[in-house]
Structure 1
Amino acid sequence: MPPRQTPQQVDGRKTRWEGQHERRRAEFVDAAIAAIAAHGSEVSTQQIADRAGVARTRLYKHFADAGDLQRAVAARAGELVTAALQPVWRPTGTPMEMITNAVDAYVSWLRANSALYLYLSRHTGTLDAVADVKTAIGRHLARIFAGHLTALDADPSSAEPLGFGIVGLVDAASVRWVEDPGGLTHEDLTRHLARWIWCVLDDTLRSAGLSLDPHQPLDLVDPAASPQPEQA
């Protein structure tokens, strides 16, 4: 008669299995993202399985259904875009440099991951992770703007709509540009967006009787005081 397993042995096996399960899920999500990049936003589950090197049915040993896989891909996309946007979370330099670097980071991510963005857009409810990142950006910008306006003895009440408005401008313009560049280069789009954003910020400051040079360092609020958001 085989020896009876202790609770510690049973728990150890369960922990190892759960760890292996999570590792395999992560591998399949990475394979899905690679398949989306290769085949476009209408990638099939079979193409994802082929990319992972397993039978299609094998995927469903680690995901409840196609929706579960889509949600896992969306969560991973949120992590990727959060990591790519360090110039947003940790802005440095002059106001114009901060704006330009942040815009360039977002346009660069969207350009490199346009198929992934469209894939998420096609599946109702799975875009939440990326939408959460955009919400986090809007709130982050609002905190920075409110801090600067307060430090300049100006009314900070416009900070939140200003932050979210800028996110909407950059996202809508960038998504459309990826679909149809219309003769604009990446550098052109980044330059235009940075200038437009500064025009909005400048008008906000001037309405409060303030004027700043966008090419001079601004050291009123420590950007590190607004922490990077948790990954979506």
Structure 2
Amino acid sequence: MESSSAHPGSDGRAARWAGQRERRRREFVDAALLAIAEHGPEVTTEQIADAAGVARVQLYKHFDGTTDLQRAIADRATEAITTALLPIWEPQGSALQMISVAVDAHTGWLADNGDLYRYLTRHSQIGRTGGQDAIVDVKTIIARQLTQVFAFYLAVFGLDTRIADVLAFGVVGLVDSSAANWLESPKGITRPQLAELLTRWIWHILDDSLRTAGVEVDPNLPLPPPPRFEPPG
């Protein structure tokens, strides 16, 4: 008769292997980020393996092919962007301060991680849920967060909250497309100058929406802070 202690032992070994595999996956993704920073967005699997100090075949003991590795890199990038954009999850101050801090965080991350951003855009449709690529995923996360923030302030001013998502997705599209184009062709515009331009444009969009509804807001006066919205986990 089979010993009852065999199953717990097997479960323990399986749990240890799963934990070790996950740890190694994260280490390989760390190496991939270093390889992307060194070799650019066209980094090869061999270069990632070299950065990890292993043979290429070792990678595929922990990833189910290239697509799985790319997806893991995209997931890590999403985590990093979410952390960098903490001001969006915890807005405070005046309208201009909120906009300026959020735009500065976004453009700052992009400027510091240009090759990673290019890697994500060049490896779109990398097996993420519903076929969405990582950049679309991140933009959607940010836009949904801003929708909550805009809806809160529209309600404070007694306005129709149904336009919150239109405003949010429009603003995110403006920032992302403008910043991505600047990344490839800055034409002498510095990052602080870009951030200043985007901040001003965003405020004009929001100000127009408020004034159309008969509300005037001083962009330099503090606004009541919204409830704390948890970033996606």
Q: Calculate the TM-score normalised by the size of structure 2.
A: 0.93
SS at match of 1:229: coil
Q: Is the 8 A contact 1:91 1:223 kept in 2?
A: no
**Residue matched to 1:215:** 220
Indicate yes or no: 2:147 matched with 1:147: no
The counterpart of 1:183, out of the listed 182, 188, 193, is: 188
Q: Distance in 2 between matches of 1:54 and 1:111?
A: 30
**Residue matched to 1:8:** 8
Q: Distance in 1 between matches of 2:102 and 2:198?
A: 10
Across the aligned residues of Structure 1 and Structure 2, the Cα RMSD in angstroms comes to 1.5
Q: Distance in 2 between matches of 1:82 and 1:91?
A: 14
Q: What is the CA distance between 1:4 and its match in structure 2?
A: 9.5
**Residue matched to 1:228:** 231
**Residue matched to 2:80:** 80
Q: Is the 8 A contact 1:134 1:167 kept in 2?
A: yes
Which consecutive segments of 4 or more residues in structure 1 shift more than 6 A? none
Gapped regions of structure 2 (runs ≥ 5): 127-131
**Residue matched to 1:202:** 207
Indicate yes or no: 2:124 matched with 1:124: yes
Q: What is the CA distance between 1:168 and its match in structure 2?
A: 0.2
Q: What is the CA distance between 1:129 and its match in structure 2?
A: 3.2
Q: Which letter maps to 1:38? A: E
The counterpart of 1:161, out of the listed 158, 166, 185, is: 166
**Residue matched to 1:53:** 53
**Residue matched to 1:40:** 40
How many residues end up aligned between the 2 structures? 226
Q: What is the CA distance between 1:148 and its match in structure 2?
A: 1.1
Map 1:93-132; keep pairs closer than 5 Å. Answer: 93-126=93-126, 128-132=133-137
Q: Distance in 1 between matches of 2:47 and 2:200?
A: 42
Gapped regions of structure 1 (runs ≥ 5): none
Q: What is the CA distance between 1:157 and its match in structure 2?
A: 2.1
Q: Which letter maps to 2:187? A: G
Q: Which letter maps to 1:165? A: G
Q: Is the 8 A contact 1:89 1:223 kept in 2?
A: no
Among the aligned pairs, what percent are the same residue?
Answer: 51
SS at match of 2:67: helix
Q: Which letter maps to 1:168? A: G
